[in-house]
Amino acid sequence: MTSKHSIFTLAFYSALLLSTAGTASAGEIGVGVTAGTDGVGAHVKTALSSHITVSGGYSYLKFGRDEAYDGIDYAGDLKLSNFSGFVNLHPFGNGFNISGGAYVGSKYLDLLATPTQSVNVGDVLFTPAQIGTLVGRANLKDFAPYAGIGYDSFANAQGNWSFNAKLGVMFTGSPEVDMNSVGGTLSNNPAFNTELAKEITSLEQDIEDYKYYPTVSLGITRKF
């Protein structure tokens, strides 16, 4: 059984078990907003009981970051556009919860580099004129399982407003990089593109950490 299926199986059976533990807040619906490392978004949630909430929403993030990979300076833009769904288990009947779910949508890192001095591409040193501009994209998996912990007072709040915070990991998979040279004197040269393929492999190894994307977010919800 894959890890993502294990997460959903555990959440499903835990939800069935805990749904019989109390239904003081069952049926309440809430709408809210969140902001964090997974983006700015909106969500809808409901309480199945004082021990279980389920939620779904949409979030968007665009974040620019310059980084050097393998001796080449890149301007990077991380973009996340995802729908999400979670089952949140409250084992103690209070705000503390354990969450399982997934983010579904586009997740990628755009990369752009225009060297101003000679750099190694693959195993060979090339001049800026020969390289031109390197234009690439590191794609992450569209379907990313999520696991985390947090605090959410929705199921047990006395008033209409509740607060939530979460800390977890989105499992986005190893990045797959596509990259081309544009405007260089060797952009269409087979030997250069052989070295560029080596550079792509090295780049994928350098950004391997993106397969575990940390999520930290805060939000508020209003009951209706």
CATH number at 111 reads: 2.40.160.170
Tokens of 185: 């004197």
H helix or E strand, kind and range, residue 224: none
Q: Which of the four pLDDT bands, split at 50, 70 and 90, describes residue 52?
A: very high
158 lies in which domain range?
3-223
Q: How confident is the model at residue 26 (pLDDT cuts 50, 70, 90)?
A: low
- For residue 10, pLDDT over 80 is answered with no
Residue 2's pLDDT is 45
Q: What is the DSSP letter of 92?
A: T
pTM for the whole structure = 0.84
Rounded CA-CA distance 189/44 in Å is: 53
pLDDT above 60 for 135: yes
| pLDDT 10s digits, 187-201 | 999 999 999 999 999
212 burial via Cβ count (<10 Å: 0-12, 13-18, 19+): exposed
- Number of other CB atoms surrounding residue 206 within 10 Å: 16
Question: What phi, psi does 44 have (nearest 5°)?
Answer: -125, 140
Quote the number of domains for the chain.
Answer: 1
**86 C-beta neighbours (distance < 10 Å), count:** 24
Rounded (5°) CA angle 116-176-208: 80
